[in-house]
Chains A and B, each alone.
Chain A
Amino acid sequence: MKRPFILILVSIFLLPLVVRPAIASEIWIFAIFGLGLNLLLGYTGLLSFGQSTFFGSAAYVAGWLLKFYGINAFLALGIGVGVGAASAALVGYLCVQRSGLYFIMLTFALNQLFYFTAYQWTSVTGGEDGMPGIPRPVLLGIDFKDPLVYYAFVSVLFLISLYAMKRIVESPLGKILQAIRENEIRAEAVGYNVPRFKLLAFIIGGAFSGLAGVLYAMLFGIVPLEAISFVFSGNVVFATLIGGSGSLYGPVIGSFVFIWLSESVSTLWARWPLLLGMAFVIVVLFLRGGIVEAWSRFWLWRSSKQKN
Chain B
Amino acid sequence: MSFVAAQILNGIATGMLYALMGLGLSLITGILNIPNFAHGALFAVGAYLLASAANEIGNFWIALVVAPLGVALLGLAIEYVGIRRLYAVGHDYQLLFTFGLALILSESIILIWGPVGYSYLPPPILRGGLDLGFTFYPKYRLFVMVMAGLLVLVTWLFLEKTRYGAIMRAGIENKEMVSLLGIDIHKLFTVAFALGAYLAGIAGALTVPIRGVNPGMGVDMLGIAFVVVALGGLGNLLGAIAAGLIIGVAQALVAAYWTEASTVVIYAVMAAVLLVRPQGLFGIR
Contact = CB atoms under 8 A, between A and B. Distances in A.
A and B touch in the complex (CB under 8 A): yes
Interface stretch (A69-77, A260-268, A276-284, A296-304): A276-284
A120 B99 contact: no
B267 A279 contact: no
B89 A106 contact: no
Interface residues of A, number: 41
Given A104-B35, A109-B230, A279 B100 contact: yes
Contact of B103 (A119, A237, A241, A276): A276
Contact of B93 (A108, A112, A288): A288
B91 A280 contact: no
Contact of B264 (A47, A94, A105, A116): A116
Contacts of A7: none
A116 B275 contact: no
B279 interface: yes
Contact of B268 (A106, A113, A285): A113
A219 B92 CA distance: 30
A11 interface: no
A110 interface: yes
Interface centre among B33, B95, B227 (most CB of A within 10 A): B95
Interface stretch (B66-74, B107-115, B116-124): B107-115
Contacts of B95: 47, 49, 104, 237
Contacts of A285: 82, 85, 97
A284 to B, nearest CB: 4
A230 interface: yes
Contacts of B111: 271, 274
A115 to B, nearest CB: 9
Contact of B270 (A109, A237, A245, A281): A109
Given A116-B264, A116-B267, A280 B278 contact: no
Contact of A105 (B103, B106, B229, B260): B229
Contacts of B103: 273-274, 276-277, 280
A106 B101 CA distance: 20
A234 interface: yes
A284 B86 contact: yes
B96 A237 contact: yes
Interface string B257-274: 000110110011011001
Interface centre among A102, A110, A279 (most CB of B within 10 A): A102
B89 A120 contact: no
Given A105-B229, A108-B226, A241-B92, A274 B104 contact: yes
5 contacts: A101-B91, A277-B102, A277-B104, A278-B100, A284-B86
